[in-house]
Amino acid sequence: MIRIRNLAFAYAQSVFDLQIDELQIQASSATAMVGPSGSGKTTLLNIIAGILSPDSGCVSVMETDLAGLSDAARRRFRLKNIGLVFQEFELIDYLNVLDNVLLPCRVDRAFPLTSDRRDRAAGLIEDVGLKDHLKKSVTRLSQGERQRVAICRALLMRPPLLLADEPTGNLDPVTSDQIVKLLLRAVQDEGTTLLMVTHNHSLLHHFSRTIDFAEFLTTSARGASVEESRR
């Protein structure tokens, strides 16, 4: 699903640099990424999503080399194939629950709002227990409810790849567990590939694989591969 080789990335005017010689993520797997703050987890997700471009090396998602695409094609590839979930939800406050979930249909004419997509959105919202809140402003929802809306939006296009950056960071333990189970259900039911950053080690048993950026940090100086632990 994801293949990274000889990746190097640095921000302008920052000493931080990310180097990954080799990393592969299998399709339909659930992988957790852990590691200290500032170790490059968010940076890597942004590179995989094609939001940031590597300085060198190859990153392919579903056999597609992101660097080979134009900006517009990369954006379209992302909308179609990658669902993104963030810690801060990134919902649009002036839109209701349904319209937030349907947001991908508003940002690209390639994905018009069809009755199928509207049904899919309503079905997802029902699945996560928010059926009675369809027309409610997202500002009136709890944190856990907001994150469920964000997950519905990420799943709208049935993306083969789901990237989640600390999606439970603002949530209590019970709600965190519900959110992770929701993400894992997409892996089980739809064969989605899930890559999730978390600080919460009590969630790791849900995942088939954990990549620890702490080991990666020490080895990256030597340009070695990402070390990983299999559970």
Which residues, 96 to 135, sit near ligand ADP by CB under 6 A?
none
Contacts 24+ apart (CB under 8 A), 216-219: 216/20, 216/35, 216/39, 216/40, 217/35, 217/36, 217/39, 217/40
Is residue 70 within the footprint of ligand ADP (CB under 6 A)?
no
Q: Which does 220 bind (CB under 5 to 8 A by kind): ligand ADP, Mg ion, none?
A: none
Residue 19: helix, strand or coil by DSSP?
Answer: strand
Q: Which of 34, 38, 40 is nearest to 200 (CA)?
A: 34
Whose Cβ is closer to ligand ADP: residue 32's or residue 101's?
A: 32
Q: Which does 210 bind (CB under 5 to 8 A by kind): Mg ion, ligand ADP, none?
A: none
Is residue 170 within the footprint of Mg ion (CB under 5 A)?
no
How is the beta sheet containing 193-197 ordered, strand by strand? 82-86, 161-165, 193-197, 30-34, 209-212, 228-230
Q: How many CB atoms lie within 10 A of CB 101?
A: 31
For residue 98, the minimal CB distance to ligand ADP (Å) is: 31
List, in order, residues 6 or more apart from 38 with CB less than 8 Å away.
16
Which residues, 18 to 57, sit near ligand ADP by CB under 6 A?
35, 37-43
Whose Cβ is closer to ligand ADP: residue 41's or residue 148's?
A: 41
Is residue 220 within the footprint of ligand ADP (CB under 6 A)?
no
Are 44 and 18 contacting, i.e. CB atoms less than 8 angstroms apart?
Answer: yes
Is residue 200 within the footprint of ligand ADP (CB under 6 A)?
no
How is the beta sheet containing 17-25 ordered, strand by strand? 17-25, 2-10, 56-61, 64-65
Whose Cβ is closer to ligand ADP: residue 12's or residue 174's?
A: 12
Number of residues in contact with Mg ion under rule CB under 5 A: 1
Number of residues in contact with ligand ADP under rule CB under 6 A: 11
Question: Token digits for 158?
Answer: 């049935």
CA distance 24 to 60: 10
Q: Which of 162, 157, 128, 167 is nearest to 145 (CA)?
A: 128
Quick one: which of 14, 115, 116, 205 contacts ligand ADP (CB under 6 A)? 14
Whose Cβ is closer to Mg ion: residue 41's or residue 74's?
A: 41
Residue 150: helix, strand or coil by DSSP?
Answer: helix
For residue 198, the minimal CB distance to Mg ion (Å) is: 10
Question: Interface with Mg ion by CB under 5 A: which range of 36-44, 89-97, 107-115, 129-137?
Answer: 36-44
Whose Cβ is closer to ligand ADP: residue 14's or residue 70's?
A: 14
* Interacting residues toward ligand ADP by CB under 6 A: 11, 14, 16, 35, 37-43
The residues of the shown chain that bind Mg ion, judged by CB under 5 A, are 42
